[in-house]
Chains A and B, each alone.
Chain A
């Protein structure tokens, strides 16, 4: 059934994209090929940013079979956890922060939901991505509602030079991935249409220990059951240039994902599923060079709707029959302005968001509505350039005001949940500096304090099994880091290019929110822990001859402190203490041979540090052959066929093979 829909969708989209391109080509008057990427006002100016950051450009992945989670985990200080298989739930952690503390943005719009939980990276198709910016530690003022965990900002595909692109990937476990995109434009307009579909059976072989890890006699190898994926997305963008200084950029994106959920013990008759659909609309008006060319102003309006359907009617992965529909709707607007003076820059941002969350129990025809969060955030940054711009100092201040409201509802047991309204306001500050010693090297230092506002779930509970904790304090944190970077560029030399970065960070988090349960399984959120997280990062990229060699490592030490004896003095769960990434590629004429090796050591699944995850040694190979307008890549993932498990009881696939054909016209 999934494959049948997939093929129909693919052929429909092929036709759509082709038609779009043909029509657009016929209508345009002149063809203008823009070489510079269009940037909206309010996007981070990386050159003057003092934060520790990494950038991944689309050229690094657009010809390969990759997903967002696996792509970014090769970056310094980034760890990703996936529930196992293509399209599975995937979260990101930066510098030891929990995934709930990491803010993920799409074109500057926050994807983290007020209802709670981390952002699922599998809901962001890499085919629709132009660039990924990863900010570790401190977060630029351009990104709103920042938290102590850093930020990942995903920039959607940009309209560029006229082209059509087709990308087909086939691989192990029934993987089929199709991407079609069409770019076209004229003097005033740029259009982009991108559609993609990905499906996989995800029936990789696992070792089922039958729930008896100490008894190997009942173990068996079997395929992962009920783990299939079908995901489709459509991205349309239109950029209209009024004149040189005024333009509007509009994006509409739709995603539909159907994911089966495997049973913890791989029950073959499991039928549980989790389906998601997302609608995104963003439009931004950019006004540049106002007030004698010194000021840029951007106004953004956005809306996002996310519908999730969790179905476990047959009680196969949980303990009670559930079919629940969860909807969240977010509307908002943001104004960003940047003014440049002689040797200074002033930035101001104001963000308003209104987010509503609804929950519907479809088995018992009960609906619970009117969970609502309104947020107003203002941020201001002053940036001073000194000593011929060798020194950049920036200071910023954010203030966030939040009003949370839950209307009176009945819980599933018939108890009335009291009307809850909570208002609060917090400010946080940030100080950063970047000093350039010379054209090749610079040092950065950053200090910032942040908060994480508790989610609806943590504040108000759910419908009976998890109680609300309305007096919960915000998590608060202090981040600091210092880093040194050096670049070497000597074209014509054997070692023609090299980049080096080394840094140290120290973060303190207070009032960590942790779930506590009584003996009957009723839970409540509490502020019961603090933590110190410190670490070192090292990143080296060298380009000797036809080789590219990248190596990065991140060593993290986290120590929790708590009145709860079971947690006190322990490492924070869900983070590997050691992370090493090595990438080597060799380019020979039109061939690129590459390998990447990811090694991770020492992670505990649990806060009591009793359950240690298996260490990771993930070795991947790839061969890419390019022609003028096409390429073919063959890749082998997890070539050592190791058994990884980022989340307990959620095994990842073993060795797998992929073939990708990429055509650009």
Chain B
């Protein structure tokens, strides 16, 4: 009788798909923020690597409203709700029990709209607040809310006239924090008419560094690209910070691309120009991920739900359409490399995350997230 029960258990386990919902979740490897396609709700998925290149997802965790994203550092990940301006901390060893949940609005304020969390260490991080002119300095290890916020970075100098600079993303290189600011005009339907800046802060003093651009009234780095709305990356070999800019895709103006910054001299270089209204081989550049000096990918936005993935060699600028057909002609929400150099692609058309071997540009696995994936964060 015991054998039959064992056999039955084995059969049941083997019959399970790689999509399991609402079981106790431990040993999380990847967290994926997700949303319903109609934006009526959001949640997150956790994906475990059961064996090499074999993945299983647990989906629809912590349901909430839809505008969500995740960030991660160390043994924890942070689930943000942009509309509620809240952040919830979880441990990778227990994805269902929050460590804490705090607001990223000041008291009696609203509209912070957090966009990114960039970590210095376990006790210091920066939260970029798209809806405000100040970013928060926070202690992720705080246990009570009053200890969470420890300071602010003032970016009011970059206000484009609508009260906010639209800080979007950031990265720490050495002791420097680089913050991209879209500077869209929210009084005119988010028109893309203002110069993009990257502000640089010293993470030990939290003081802004003057990049000494001649003729500029602010201390930051003026960029050529417009609308850096998703990704920023750094490669140590090339010693370059790469910034993605989608350009004015609403207005149909190709003013974006990939622009690099020398973190020491602050000089910029337009690595990839997205073209113009007549010639634009890769559409609008809507995503970027770089894993080494010679290996990266970018997303080409041709139209609604019609995106394409390209391989990109940051050192040489060589570009090739990815051979992975599953990621072509879909809505690619984001791309990111994990620590093993595999590229994760959030496929919002099919509610799936694809994992790609970036060395061979081949598909490893595809995992259903049930809801449309937004972005990924990896355990460290």
A: residues with CB less than 8 A from B are 210-215, 217-218, 263-265, 267-268, 315-316, 319-321, 363-364, 412-415, 463-465, 467, 514-524, 564-567, 573, 605-608, 610-611, 648-649
Contacts and interface: CB of A to CB of B under 8 A. Distances in A.
B73 interface: no
A320 B186 contact: yes
B162 interface: yes
A211 B84 contact: yes
Nearest to A363: B187
24 contacts: A211-B81, A213-B101, A215-B100, A215-B101, A218-B145, A264-B83, A267-B111, A320-B187, A364-B189, A413-B248, A413-B250, A414-B251, A415-B251, A516-B38, A518-B333, A519-B348, A520-B229, A564-B37, A565-B370, A567-B37, A607-B38, A607-B41, A608-B41, A611-B41
Contact of B43 (A321, A465, A610): A610
A607 B252 contact: no
Nearest to B190: A320
B83 A565 contact: no
B18 to A, nearest CB: 13
Interface of B: 36-41, 43, 60, 63-65, 81, 83-86, 88, 98, 100-103, 105, 108-111, 113, 131, 144-145, 162, 186-191, 229, 246, 248-252, 286, 304-305, 331-334, 346, 348, 351, 368, 370-372, 374
Given A212-B101, A214-B88, A519 B40 contact: no
Contact of A518 (B246, B348, B371): B348
Given A515-B38, A522-B304, A212 B334 contact: no
Contacts of A320: 186-187, 189-190
A566 B370 contact: yes
B165 to A, nearest CB: 15
Nearest to A321: B187
A246 B251 CA distance: 60
Contacts of A514: 37-38
B39 A517 contact: yes
Contact of B108 (A268, A463, A516, A567): A268
Contacts of B102: 212, 215
Contacts of A218: 103, 145
Given A517-B37, A648-B65, 19 more contacts: A211-B81, A211-B85, A212-B101, A215-B102, A267-B111, A412-B188, A413-B191, A413-B248, A463-B189, A517-B39, A518-B304, A519-B334, A564-B37, A566-B371, A605-B41, A608-B41, A610-B63, A611-B40, A649-B65
B81 A413 contact: no
Nearest to B248: A413
Contacts of B191: 413
Contact of A566 (B81, B108, B188, B372): B372
Chain A binding surface, main DSSP class: loop
B149 to A, nearest CB: 13
Contacts of B346: 519
Contact of B98 (A214, A268, A566): A214
A174 to B, nearest CB: 23
A356 to B, nearest CB: 24
Counting from the closest, the 9 A-B pairs by CB-CB distance are: A211-B84, A610-B63, A606-B40, A519-B333, A606-B41, A413-B251, A412-B189, A214-B101, A413-B250
A321 B41 contact: no
A377 B14 CA distance: 58
A517 B305 CA distance: 9
Contacts of B88: 214
A211 B43 contact: no
A610 B41 contact: yes
Contacts of A315: 111, 186
A523 B249 CA distance: 14
A520 B305 CA distance: 11
A517 B368 contact: no
Contacts of A515: 38-39
Nearest to A322: B189
A523 B304 CA distance: 9
Contact of B40 (A264, A464, A607): A607
Contacts of B332: 519
Contacts of A364: 188-189
Contacts of B81: 211
A463 B334 CA distance: 26
Contact of A464 (B41, B144, B145, B250): B250
